Structures are given as structure tokens and as C-alpha cells.
A = this chain, B = another copy of it.
Amino acid sequence: MTLASSGGARRPRQRRSAITRDRVAQVALGLFNAQGYTPVTTNAIAEACGISTGSLYYHFRHREDVLWYLFQRVEARVRGLFIDSPFKDTGLALLRRQLVAVAEILTEYRFFFPDQTAILRRDERVAAAFLGLQTDVVGAMRGQLAGWLRPAHQGDRLVPPDAEGLARALWLMMTNWVTYLHSRGESVETAAVAGAVPVALALLDPYIPL
């Protein structure tokens, strides 16, 4: 009787907590995107959620825990695109799908790359995970590109392409596109960030089979 009723009481609370934890993270993400990560305090997150600091602590002990929660969500999505890719396409069509999805993620988490160095300098856990993700995504892109580069490409060109370099360049121009818009005071919306996709495709088009 006691066991059954305590079990019955715990279930709804756990479900409610799970929803609230995600809502807190979403509200915090909105603040990070609007103000930048650094100036947003734990108190400001609680206030924006309309809850007390004590209630917030039930879900996240620090702002860093919110960042970690958000980072893990992004990591799962990005690994899904490049490492366990669900796409059946190949060549330029595959790259287009991947980059369109990346542009969406970059827009949704647009606070991150403009402050990449400052964030990673202060957070060893996210820094280590970020480095692992960056290495794996660039490695996956390098593998994809290496499969497309043919000896013909080497002969054609004054400057022979190299899969590692092309993969790095792709990573750098995609991840810093938001910083570029930001520096010009342009609004960072999906359409503007997606502007990076045709540019990346035009750069790689000469090296990719149809």
C-alpha cells in the first residue's frame, strides 16, 4: 500500500520535471542567443522562467550545466548527420542535405560560435566534447570528400585539392558564417545562415561527382 502510493506519487513528478528541465534549457537558449552566453547569469535564467533560483537548482546547478545539456543535444544531432547519416543521397545532393541541416542547427544555437573561444576557455567539459565533435565531423567530411576526389582532379589543377584541407575549410566557413552576419549587425535568421550553403556547394562542386 505504502509502496504502491509512493510509486504512484513519484511518476507524475518525474514526468513534470523532465518537461520543465527541457523548458528551462529552451528559455536559457533564448537568453544566450539574445544577449550572448557570458552575460547571462543563473538568476536571469530563473527569472526568465518565472521560477525561484531554488527551483532552478533542482534542474540545473549552474549555467554550465545548462550549456552541457544543450551541447549534448547538438552533438547528437550533428553526429546523426555526418557519422550515422540517415540520408540515401550521394555526392552534391548528400552534401546539400547535410549543410542545410547544419545551417538550421547553427541558427538555433547561434550564440555558440561567435563566443566559441571564450566559452571553451572556461568550460573544460564542453571544450573536450567540442574538440571530439569537431575532429569527428571534419574526419567524416574528409572521408566523404576523399571518396569523391579523383586523380583527374589532381592533373586538372595548378593547386591540387586535398580532402583534409577542403573538410577544414568547409567547417570553418559554415561555423563562422553566423559570426560574420553578427559582426555586420545583420539578423541571424534561418534564411541568412542558409546563405552559406550555396557558397559551400559552389566551392566544392568542381570536386564532387553529380
A residues touching B (Cβ–Cβ < 8 Å)?
Answer: 36, 38, 92, 114-118, 120-121, 130-131, 134-135, 157-162, 165-166, 168-169, 171-173, 175-177, 179-180, 182-184, 195, 198-206, 210
Please, which residues of chain B bring their CB within 8 A of the CB of A121?
A: 36
**Which residue of the partner chain, among B134, B160, B180, B210, contacts A183 with CB atoms under 8 Å?**
B134
Please, which residues of chain B bring their CB within 8 A of the CB of A203?
A: 161, 166, 169, 203-204
Contact B116 A118 (CB under 8 A): no
Q: Chain B's nearest CB lies how many Å from the CB of A118?
A: 5
Q: Chain B's nearest CB lies how many Å from the CB of A32?
A: 13
Please, which residues of chain B bring their CB within 8 A of the CB of A38?
A: 118
Contact B159 A180 (CB under 8 A): no
A120 to B114, CA, bound (A): 11
Given known A-B contacts A177-B172, A182-B117, A183-B120, A165 and B202 have beta carbons under 8 A apart? yes
**Which residue of the partner chain, among B92, B117, B210, contacts A114 with CB atoms under 8 Å?**
B117
Contact B202 A162 (CB under 8 A): yes
Given known A-B contacts A36-B121, A198-B162, A168 and B184 have beta carbons under 8 A apart? no
Residue of B nearest to A135 (CB): B184
Q: Chain B's nearest CB lies how many Å from the CB of A20?
A: 31
A201 to B161, CA, bound (A): 9
**Which residue of the partner chain, among B116, B120, B135, B173, contacts A172 with CB atoms under 8 Å?**
B173
Given known A-B contacts A165-B202, A199-B166, A92 and B159 have beta carbons under 8 A apart? yes
Q: Chain B's nearest CB lies how many Å from the CB of A39?
A: 10
Please, which residues of chain B bring their CB within 8 A of the CB of A92?
A: 158-159
Residue of B nearest to A164 (CB): B199
Please, which residues of chain B bring their CB within 8 A of the CB of A166?
A: 199, 202-203
**Which residue of the partner chain, among B135, B168, B184, contacts A199 with CB atoms under 8 Å?**
B168
Contact B120 A118 (CB under 8 A): no
Contact B160 A202 (CB under 8 A): yes
A118 to B202, CA, bound (A): 32
